[in-house]
Amino acid sequence: MSATTPKFARESWLTFRLAVPLIIGQVGQMLIALSDTLMLGWLGVVPLAACSFASNLIYVPMMLGVGMSIAVSVRVSHARGANDPATARAALRHGFYLTLALGALTLLGTAAMLPFLGIFRQDPEVIEAVPVYLLLVAASMVPAMATMAWKNHADAMDRPWPAFWISMGGVALNILLNWMLIFGNLGMPAMGLEGAGVATLVARTAAFAGLVIWSGRDAAMREWVPHRWWCMPDWAAVRNLLATGFPASMQLLAEVSAFVAATLIVGMLGAAPLASHQVALQCAATVFMIPLGISMALTVRMGEAGGAGRRHAMRHILTGAWAMGLLVNLCSATAFVFGNQEIAGWFIEEESVRQMAASLLLVAAAFQLCDGFQVISVGGLRGLDDVRVPAWMMFGAFWIFGIPLGSWLAFGAEMGAAGVWWGLVTGLTLNAVMLGVRVWRKTIK
């Protein structure tokens, strides 16, 4: 763009250009879960409900891995700017150690929890169906979390597209293996829900292996990845990663924990409401990856503007990101309002569950704008190194207002799953207002 281009348009274009590969990468990570939801829905209500229950138990530790991988991206981008391959290699090595350890702890914690799944008060059929699938998905977190560190390293090195195509190869492999192992095609046994777990584990392991092999062989990456892995950690570097990664994890966990709690509350209502909840939640979560990618780009751009002494540009950058998120979420809200029946029908054939999922998609349409606005605002605040207060704001909005209200609406007002979702709308709306006001005030010239 020329120097005469209006500042708002120029800053918006720069944010958009940075956001595109990040959005595609985030959507790519969701496609394995989306394909599992879609294909297990064809088996029936209980397998789909079990998929929802297992996936949501895994989301909480997964957010810790995402936070650590964000820290890798920050450290590597700084090292790349300083032309310091040794620091970038150390960031990846220590990030890999941390995410691998988190994945292993997730697997061990899940195995220890299996005898006590009844405390979540889910439908007995779901509890009976879920253990093997849950353990397989937990095992897949070991390669999945390690992959996050490597992928964020590639993104920070401005090499997002090869990592994206490797991820897409993992998605394609997962879909193929689902088709073979869930339904018993090409001479394979029909394993149902457990087949989906095996497919997820194999696909995530293959994607991790592909990313490691490519990083070691790519000419632009070879100097920036560790040559020696088995050496004593630099504990100062580990603490540095944790100082960045833990607050980022807490911000992500504030929202994710609320949705996990919502899933458990819905699960108390029975397998059918939980299955419908999974359909609507998976659709909303996939769309959410777009404003999340914009948020990640905004973090980088706000940080760059602050470091370069360009505070006068911050509001143009912020409002451009808000406008992009508004456009995306208007489109998704429109799709959920006018296409809710068709979308629900892609996942489940049983009429009562399909109608319930369609009604939840209408509620999801109501919170699209607030959800996109709040995640973009928190990305701007992160770029301003303002992480602790926003995290507490998010926890307060969800856990003081959203979840208690949703629980009362579900049981006290007898609104069922829809009541839980209206509680989420309340929490997201409060977050959108509080975080939007905070980031706007923080960007005063």
Asked if 373 contacts 438 with a C-beta cutoff of 8 angstroms, the reply is no
Whose tokens are 């996990």? That residue is 260
Asked if 48 contacts 40 with a C-beta cutoff of 8 angstroms, the reply is yes
Which of 6-20, 267-281, 378-392 has maximum average pLDDT?
Answer: 267-281
Determine the Cα–Cα distance for residues 338 and 292; give it in Å rounded to an integer. Answer: 24
Q: Is the dihedral of CA 107, 113, 118, 120 positive or negative?
A: negative
Which pLDDT belongs to residue 17? Answer: 83
Which pLDDT belongs to residue 276? Answer: 92
Asked if 58 contacts 135 with a C-beta cutoff of 8 angstroms, the reply is no
Cα 298 to the center of its chain, rounded Å:
17
Average pLDDT over residues 419-441: 94
* 251 confidence band (pLDDT: 50, 70, 90): confident
The DSSP code for 160 is: H
Helix ranges, 339-400 (H): 340-347, 351-383, 388-396
Q: Looking at 44-48, 179-183, 428-432, which range is the least confident one?
A: 44-48
Which pLDDT belongs to residue 445? Answer: 63
301, pLDDT greater than 90: no
433, pLDDT greater than 50: yes
398, pLDDT greater than 50: yes
Q: Encode pLDDT of 4-53 as tens digits.
A: 457 888 888 888 887 887 787 777 777 888 888 889 888 888 998 898 88
Separation of first and last alpha carbons in the chain: 24
Which pLDDT belongs to residue 312? Answer: 83
192, pLDDT greater than 80: yes
Q: Encode pLDDT of 117-137 as tens digits.
A: 989 888 899 999 999 999 999
One-letter amino acid at 397 equals: A
In the structure, how many helices (H) and strands (E) does the chain have?
15, 0
DSSP-derived 3-state class of residue 184: coil
Give the CA distances from residue 276 to residues 11, 222, 271, 343, 439, in Å, rounded to whole numbers and listed in that order. 40, 46, 9, 12, 35
Average pLDDT over residues 249-277: 87
Determine the Cα–Cα distance for residues 424 and 401; give it in Å rounded to an integer. Answer: 9
2, pLDDT greater than 60: no
Determine the Cα–Cα distance for residues 327 and 307; give it in Å rounded to an integer. Answer: 29
Percentage of the chain surpassing pLDDT 90? 45
Which pLDDT belongs to residue 197? Answer: 95
Q: Dihedrals φ, ψ of 231, to 5°?
A: -145, 165
74, pLDDT greater than 80: no
Determine the Cα–Cα distance for residues 401 and 398; give it in Å rounded to an integer. Answer: 6
Asked if 417 contacts 364 with a C-beta cutoff of 8 angstroms, the reply is no
Planar angle of CA 15, 18, 19, nearest 5 degrees: 80
Determine the Cα–Cα distance for residues 220 and 234; give it in Å rounded to an integer. Answer: 25
Q: Encode pLDDT of 323-379 as tens digits.
A: 999 999 999 999 999 999 999 998 888 888 899 999 999 999 988 889 999 999 988
Query: In terms of Cα–Cα distance, which of 100, 59, 18 is closest to 258?
Result: 59
Which pLDDT belongs to residue 363? Answer: 92
* 109 confidence band (pLDDT: 50, 70, 90): very high
Give the CA distances from residue 207 to residues 61, 164, 165, 170, in Å, rounded to whole numbers and listed in that order. 20, 10, 10, 5
Q: Encode pLDDT of 256-269 as tens digits.
A: 888 889 989 999 98
Domain boundaries, the chain: 7-442
Please enumerate in sequence order all residues whose Cβ is within 8 A of that of 21, keeping only pairs 6 or more positions apart, or say none: 155, 160, 161, 164
